[in-house]
A and B are shown apart, each in its own frame.
Chain A
């Protein structure tokens, strides 16, 4: 299966830089420590007014910093924009492979790599220094896996959407900025979305961004009902269908205009 091979190749390619990435992991952990310190400072003496105590927030930030590497820090536009710029996309679209799967399977390889060489080491750093939550219920592990998988699918789709928009706009740097900001801000990277001010805290629960970071973290911490997976599933399917449709439109556009 060609997509499986693409995934493996991408994994191996990233493996070359693993030492550089390990240094970067230290910085990523420092970001986590800063967020944890902020929450510890904020909640000091006020834990009774908050749904979460300092330990909860420590676990939350630690888990979010790990999950970010598989569902937050993806390749900008999945590099589709490069193909648009140099014209290679016309060739890639007419290949007998499915373009959507062709692009996303390569990203998947990178994310598998990120899981082992970013998420796990960063999680270990937190486990040693400030503690890392261990889910208690055996059944939770199944839901955690499903939730993380859906989070990845949602995020890959969001990034694909940014990348494929290059067929119409050529420049996607700003779209990536906006997408990432929304993902981190409304996805709950630093602030659990139920802490957001009133209208936002309700609205964000139903946006795809929460499905990429907030829900998998809450499922991992066993603080969310398993029903949230349905919201994630909805977005995973909806975004995938949307992208397949847009890819078809891009193909038609390129066929008519010849790139």
Chain B
């Protein structure tokens, strides 16, 4: 469904002087160095897969997505999305894909959500019957009916994101590119969006490529993970493989009233333990050891005055390991 074959994207960074004239002299100047934003990436995503595309900032994630959607043209290599080259047939590909950028909305800011949908319906030439079906289905899935007549600028971030997701599905695309769809949302909104995406993938058999900073998105949604760093793929496999490679431990920090003398990690699932000043830092695998049972265990060792749970920062972990 989505094929990248030895994909490359190099940017020439011209040495410009600052300011206005500088941007002009860069037109004629030939002094530059090449940055390989995407360096020989190949993957093949089959129909119905839900793939997490992760990596630290500047690793080449969004450059890849931009190439897959036809915004950028690759320096080298080939892309096929739904059987077509987005570089050569951008408009046809646009009909087959849906794109959501979490950071900016595709909706018409001053118009009610319904008007945005009406406009998109015309843009993608969706037949009336299909359109009515769409409105009904997505009201069921995302409960957008409640704020259909509210101008987009007045929606909450969570509502807006639901609207954006529905807008991306209006032409019933087979492929979805989601660039950080859960960024900045609260827990409830995240949960509802995740269950929606799950449903799209399992019931509607949509092929989805997702970039995210949120480890929970990956854990709950993705059957496959592609990790990139410095423009290259460093891992392409299942969530289990990712876990095996980089651990991805959850972290619990416990501060005791008095530092206990006997601390023994006998529990299965605790991967690492260390003292950070007077705080005990525990790293553990949540799929093996649940947080409540670990909590129970640490209270046996002494009297805790403060306990903090921390999610591993995926970016940080990847950058450290590769």
Contacts and interface: CB of A to CB of B under 8 A. Distances in A.
Nearest to B18: A16
B20 interface: yes
Interface in A215-253: none
B83 interface: no
A16 to B, nearest CB: 7
Interface string B1-28: 0000000000000000001110000000
Contacts of A23: 20
A19 interface: yes
Contacts of A168: none
B25 to A, nearest CB: 11
- Chain B contact residues: over half helix, strand or loop, or mixed? helix
Contacts of A139: none
Contacts of B21: 19
Interface string A3-31: 00000000000001111100100000000
A19 B21 CA distance: 7
A16 B19 CA distance: 7
A19 B19 CA distance: 7
A247 to B, nearest CB: 31
Interface string B267-280: 00000000000000
Contacts of B20: 17, 19-20, 23
Contacts of A17: 19-20
Contacts of A18: 19
A27 to B, nearest CB: 14
Nearest to B17: A19
B67 to A, nearest CB: 33
Nearest to A20: B20
Nearest to A21: B20
B24 to A, nearest CB: 9
Nearest to A16: B19
Nearest to B19: A19
Nearest to A19: B20
Nearest to A23: B20
A19 B23 CA distance: 11
A20 B19 CA distance: 8
A19 B20 CA distance: 6
Contacts of A19: 19-21
Interface string B84-118: 00000000000000000000000000000000000
Interface string B233-262: 000000000000000000000000000000
Contacts of A16: 19
Contacts of A20: 19-20
B17 to A, nearest CB: 10
10 contacts: A16-B19, A17-B19, A17-B20, A18-B19, A19-B19, A19-B20, A19-B21, A20-B19, A20-B20, A23-B20
Given A17-B19, A20-B20, A23-B20, 7 more contacts: A16-B19, A17-B20, A18-B19, A19-B19, A19-B20, A19-B21, A20-B19
Q: Give the 5 A-B CB pairs with smallest separation, nearest first.
A: A20-B20, A19-B20, A19-B21, A19-B19, A16-B19
